[in-house]
Amino acid sequence: MKTKDYTFEIVDELLKSSSHARELARKVRMSHMGVIKVLSSLKKGNVVDYVTEGRNKIYSLKKTIESKAYIIMAEEYKLLKIIQKYPLLRNITEKLQKNDKIIIALLFGSYAKGIAGKNSDIDVYIDTENKNIKKEAEQISTKLSV
């Protein structure tokens, strides 16, 4: 998966904040017309909407079931990109996902930003107050910091 899926890149940017087409084009490194086509498709799919401010259309994600589905797909897309960049995370991700006791696990820090070095630890937040679950997770890898 070397090619970008610009639809999910745009959805990810709109998750961060509302934006106009030119700014989105700059952020995802795509042509303005390409962004307009993707936004038009997302508008037809009931995922985005816009408000006109002056001569600009400011796009934002709608609060619809379709929009939520695209947000989930965009998060899965980001996970795929991270796993491809850092194969070490594949095993850790699989083990965390298989653990039924872990409902939410969030990757943050240098690995999430895509700037991890050789000696970087893997920062993961697990939403639980049960210390045993956190200890289990830390056993997966010595680089894992829960």
Query: pLDDT by residue (tens digit) across 63-82?
Result: 999 999 999 999 999 999 99
Of all residues in the chain, the percent with pLDDT exceeding 70 is: 98
- Per-residue confidence at 2, pLDDT binned at 50, 70, 90? low
- Domains contained in the chain, CATH given: 6-65 (1.10.10.10), 87-145 (no CATH)
C-alpha distances (whole Å) from 94 to each of 3, 8, 77, 111, 140 are 24, 22, 16, 16, 10
pLDDT of residue 146: 82
pLDDT of residue 59: 98
HSE of 104, CA atoms in CB hemisphere, 13 A: 6
Count CB-CB contacts under 10 A for residue 127. 10
Assess whether pLDDT exceeds 60 at residue 16.
yes
The residue assigned the tokens 């498709």 is 41
Contact yes or no for 21/34 (Cβ under 8 A): no
Predicted TM-score (pTM) of the model is 0.84
Query: pLDDT by residue (tens digit) across 91-133?
Result: 999 999 998 888 899 999 999 988 988 888 999 999 888 888 8
pLDDT of residue 1: 53
C-alpha distances (whole Å) from 112 to each of 59, 105, 120 are 26, 12, 11
SS3 of 75-109: HHHHHHHHHHHCCHHHHHHHHHHHCCCCCCEEEEC
pLDDT of residue 143: 80
Q: Of the given ranges (22-26, 73-77, 139-143), which has the lowest mean pLDDT? A: 139-143
